[in-house]
Amino acid sequence: MFVSGLYMVNADISKADQYKLFQIHKAAGVVMLWTLFVRVCVRIFTYAPELPIEFSKSDKKKAKAGHILLYIAVVVMPLSGWLMVSASPFGLPTFVFVDWIKWPHIPGVARNKMIETIANNIHWITASILGFLIIGHIGAVIWHRNKHGVNLLDRMWWSKTKR
Ligand code: HEM
């Protein structure tokens, strides 16, 4: 999504290719929105393992804050994209990969330039923040592996064990 978003906005490509890339980006984003919905339900309704006992109090606080920020960013990303295309002065439809699944636009904002600009700014600012959060998230996994010898990937995957 980062690569397609930056490429479709900045690359020197034809309008037709740009349109196609926009459609792919939007469709993938809508699929992500649904995947995210499933993820949030799983997170709410199933067991989440405690953070490892090797973590200090401040490690735990930082990890929780990072996770909350990650959730906020990944929710804001597709929602701001959806708001942006719903308010776009071009009023182009959004299809989810095949032309017969037309994703509805948010009602009440059609062709509203001001809302489009706000959503556009939220979209790229959040994308930048999300980029740093992802780097921090991966960095933390590597750091804790080296510092405490814990494999945090275990608690993110099916093999997660109670601790
Ligand atoms: C889940 C995550 C998503 C990520 C990580 C993401 C990421 C990005 C990035 C990095 C850009 C380039 C920002 C810029 O330079 O202006 C972008 C642009 C864009 N995104 Fe997304 N996006 C996501 C979801 C969506 C969704 C769901 C939609 C619409 C349904 C959408 C619609 C757009 C549009 C229309 C642009 C072009 C904005 C412009 O013309 O400046 N995005 N996206």
Mutating to test ligand 1, I would choose from 20, 25, 105, 133 the residue with most ligand atoms within 8 A of its C-beta, which is 25
Say if ligand 1 is within 6 A of residue 127 CB: yes
- Summarised one tens digit per residue, pLDDT across range 39-63 is 999 989 988 888 989 899 999 999 9
In angstroms, the CA 41 to CA 142 distance is: 28
C-alpha angle 135/62/39, rounded to 5°?
65
Q: Which residues contact 149 (CB under 8 A, 6 or more apart)?
A: 54
- Report whether pLDDT(159) > 70: no
Start-to-end CA span in the chain (Å): 35
- Summarised one tens digit per residue, pLDDT across range 88-121 is 999 999 999 877 889 999 999 999 999 999 999 9
Q: What's the residue count for the chain? A: 163
Say if ligand 1 is within 6 A of residue 105 CB: no
- Summarised one tens digit per residue, pLDDT across range 117-152 is 999 999 999 999 999 999 999 999 999 999 889 889
Ligand 1 atom closest to Cα of 130?
5
